[in-house]
Amino acid sequence: EVVDCKGLHVLPGLVDAHVHLREPGDASVETIGTGTRAAVLGGLTAVFDMPNTSPAITDSAQLAWKRGRVEETAWCDMGLYVGATRRNIPELAALEVEENVCAIKVFAGSSTGDLMIEDDAGLEAVMRSGRRRIAYHSEDEYRLRERKPNYQTGMPHRMHAEWRDVECAFLGTRRLMALARKTGRPAHILHVSTAEELEYLADFRDICTVEVLMNHLTQTDEAYDRLGGYAVMNPPIRDKRHLEAAWAAVRDGRVDVVGSDHAPHSRAAKERPWPDCAAGLTGVQTIVPVMLDHVSNGRLSLMRLADLMCAGPARVYGVVNKGRLSVGYDADFTLVDMAKSRVIEESWIASPCGWTPFDGHRCQGWPVGTIVRGHVVMREDEVLGTPVGRPVAFR
């Protein structure tokens, strides 16, 4: 097949290493089929899917079932996380190797679903059990209700809230690093979102890798006034000081991966009055255009973006291809047109939940083709062929 790439940049296939596709769970919000279709429309060749589904993915039977769903319905390749629970700690080492997971996921702080290991003894047991990659969700529980900004009443306690929240996130991360030092096990810290954590983690680069989210590089707290519940995520969107710290960390090479934390919820769940609004924003379809716009604005180079969304995930999670450590799979490409300027519209969103916090956001630079292992699955907004997605292999 001949693909005319005149005037385009051909990037290695871009990966979103942090998505929640909700299967099994609520198909009216998202499934593996719909979420990966959104992903290829947005220029991604692979996504790594979190285990906090309903029920959660915590054993080999569930992983086998999910791999089957990937083979039947996914439009792009998928890495699967396995969730750590108190009950499966003894099996984690075997699970991560035999079941070809991208990582063990530990919810060391509050989240959607009921996977949670918060105490030091539990966390240390998980850390010692994993052979390779463990990814930590590092927010602290009491943060959620205490500090979620009251976007409906004009946030009278936002300053107080911000202070509590930063303290809590920092505490969670400090605790994880103390355990990583003690056990000698490396940790991948997901969605690091505060200036304080980023500064702190600079001293632990020998033992930690860092993910920052596209939303934390793009939105500031004015989003609460504009979007209400559609700005609520966990960890929360913060003020400009943290956004600038995140960009400084990206520039200095203190960030390994940029992901979206695509976390669809129904409109009803997003519009529930504070503090019961569901936390999480869609992003699998918008992460590439939004990041390309940052390239156009001089925030980072295309090379750096390819590093953060392809080589970085491959390095951190240990992607292998034909038995070798690899930055991707054969003929995985994302075609981008940096001359194309386009406004993100809600009507473009393919996830059944049907909303994006970026409605009306103009992006200079746009994904115009997605090629998964040689199959052209998206060209100029059209999804082509059949779902060719496969599970990604890991070291």
Residues with catalytic roles: 261
Q: How far is the CB of 191 from Zn ion (least distance, A)?
A: 5
Task: Give the range of 37-45, 69-77, 97-105, 257-265 binding Zn ion by CB under 5 A.
Answer: 257-265
Q: How far is the CB of 29 from ligand DOR (least distance, A)?
A: 10
User: What is residue 54's DSSP assignment?
Assistant: S
For residue 130, the partner it binds in ligand DOR, Zn ion, none, with Cβ less than 5 to 8 A by kind, is none
Q: What span, in angstroms and rounded, lies between the C-alpha atoms of 237 and 219?
A: 6
Count, residues in the chain: 395
Q: What span, in angstroms and rounded, lies between the C-alpha atoms of 366 and 65?
A: 35
For residue 280, the partner it binds in Zn ion, ligand DOR, none, with Cβ less than 5 to 8 A by kind, is ligand DOR
Q: How far is the CB of 112 from ligand DOR (least distance, A)?
A: 4
For residue 138, count CB atoms less than 10 angstroms from its CB and return exposed for 0-12, middle for 13-18, buried for 19 or more.
buried
Q: How far is the CB of 336 from ligand DOR (least distance, A)?
A: 27
Q: What span, in angstroms and rounded, lies between the C-alpha atoms of 379 and 300?
A: 25
**Residue (83 or 365) nearer to Zn ion, CB:** 83
The angle at the Cα of 39, spanning 209 to 311, to the nearest 5 degrees, equals: 30
- Choose, by CB under 5 A, the member of 23, 211, 261, 332 that binds Zn ion: 261
User: What own/partner pairs with CB < 8 Å and gap ≥ 24 does 176-181 have?
Assistant: 176/108, 176/123, 176/136, 176/138, 177/201, 177/204, 177/207, 177/208, 179/120, 179/123, 179/124, 179/127, 180/127, 180/204, 180/207, 180/208, 181/207
Q: What is the dihedral of CA 318, 178, 59, 191, to 10 degrees?
A: -60
**Residue (71 or 118) nearer to Zn ion, CB:** 118
Q: How far is the CB of 41 from ligand DOR (least distance, A)?
A: 21
Contact between 99 and Zn ion per CB under 5 A: no
Residues in binding contact with Zn ion, number by CB under 5 A: 2
**Residue (183 or 266) nearer to ligand DOR, CB:** 266
For residue 221, the partner it binds in Zn ion, ligand DOR, none, with Cβ less than 5 to 8 A by kind, is none
**Residue (96 or 261) nearer to Zn ion, CB:** 261
Site for Zn ion in 133-172 (CB under 5 A): 137
DSSP E strands in 161-274: the ranges are: 187-189, 208-213, 257-259
Tell me the residue nearest to ligand DOR as measured from the CB.
Answer: 280
CA 384, 385, 391, 394 dihedral sign is negative
For residue 103, the partner it binds in Zn ion, ligand DOR, none, with Cβ less than 5 to 8 A by kind, is none
Q: How far is the CB of 317 from Zn ion (least distance, A)?
A: 15
DSSP E strands in 190-316: the ranges are: 208-213, 257-259
**Residue (171 or 384) nearer to ligand DOR, CB:** 171
For residue 233, the partner it binds in Zn ion, ligand DOR, none, with Cβ less than 5 to 8 A by kind, is ligand DOR
Binding pattern to Zn ion, positions 316-335, x when CB under 5 A?
--------------------
Return the number of other C-beta atoms located less than 10 Å from residue 355's C-beta. Answer: 18
Q: How far is the CB of 52 from ligand DOR (least distance, A)?
A: 5
Q: Quote the radius of gyration of the chain (alpha carbons, Å).
A: 19
Residues of this chain that interact with ligand DOR (CB under 6 A) are: 20, 52, 111-112, 137, 233-234, 263, 279-280
Q: What span, in angstroms and rounded, lies between the C-alpha atoms of 371 and 377?
A: 6
- At 262 the three-state DSSP class reads strand
Residue partners of 299: CB distance under 8 A and separation at least 6: 217, 247, 250
**Residue (137 or 147) nearer to Zn ion, CB:** 137
**Residue (176 or 378) nearer to Zn ion, CB:** 176
For residue 337, the partner it binds in ligand DOR, Zn ion, none, with Cβ less than 5 to 8 A by kind, is none
Distance of CA 75 to the CA centre of its chain: 18
For residue 243, the partner it binds in ligand DOR, Zn ion, none, with Cβ less than 5 to 8 A by kind, is none
Note the residues at the interface with Zn ion (CB under 5 A).
137, 261
